[in-house]
Structure 1
């Protein structure tokens, strides 16, 4: 999951590099799914607290960083997953001046 400040501008170069990253993953058979998410203003947050379920429309201004995209890879090891995360961060470092964020790596529950 790619977490970042929602106000960050993504450049055309970022999209180009991400497309290359995805093509490579499809060719070597590791990429299962990849996608970006629309801004939180187009979403809602449904939560459970104190025995009550509430729904609030976005944007979620109280959150510092939000999940802005995701990728599912079929890799053999944690080391391989971390390397893919580093490559994803490098794309943003190279193409979006001042961009800050994180890639959260999680295994799917089997």
Structure 2
């Protein structure tokens, strides 16, 4: 079965300062458990804020490293889920379920992409 990467993009400037509520974390835990039992979820994690990250850029044969935060970025990758699904439609359905557990004040976008095998 194909694997898909769901990249969770968040707008750090508008995300709740206190992070996810306990209720959201509970709903997320329940969904993660369901997805794991269904054999769909292979791995998932949140990421630290971009202020704690670095970007490594290569251009013209030269490398540069920029430490966060990255002011030019409106959305940053805040987490990911590695899914194994029968097709992209199924991966998108699971991703929709993940997005729907968030409270209305969250703005979250997931980009679902198939992983090229071999």
Whichever structure has more strand as a proportion of its residues is: 2
1:6 aligns with 2:16: no
1:55-86, Cα deviation, whole Å (9 max, x unpaired): 01111121000000100111001110110111
What does residue 105 of structure 1 align with?
Answer: 112
Distance 1:108 1:65 in 2: 22
Residue 71 of structure 2 corresponds to residue 61 of structure 1: yes
Of 25, 28, 37 in structure 2, the residue corresponding to residue 15 of structure 1 is 25
Within a 5 Å distance, the mapping from 1:38-77 to structure 2 comes to 38-77=48-87
Gaps of 5+ in 2: 1-6
Higher helix residue share? 1
- Structure 1 unaligned segments of length 5 or more: list them: none
Looking at structure 1, the residues matched to 9 and 24 of structure 2 have their Cα atoms a distance apart, in angstroms, of 15
Give the alignment's TM-score, normalised by structure 2. 0.84
Distance in 1 (alpha carbons) for counterparts of 2:23 and 2:63:
42
Residue 104 of structure 1 aligns to a residue whose secondary structure is strand
1:65 touches 1:101 (CA, 8 Å); kept in 2?
no
Of 42-51 and 27-36, more deviation after overlay is shown by 42-51
Quick check: 1:26–1:32 contact (8 Å CA) kept in 2? yes
Q: Which of structure 1's runs of 4+ aligned residues deviate more than 2 A? A: 49-52
- Give the match's secondary structure for 2:78: strand
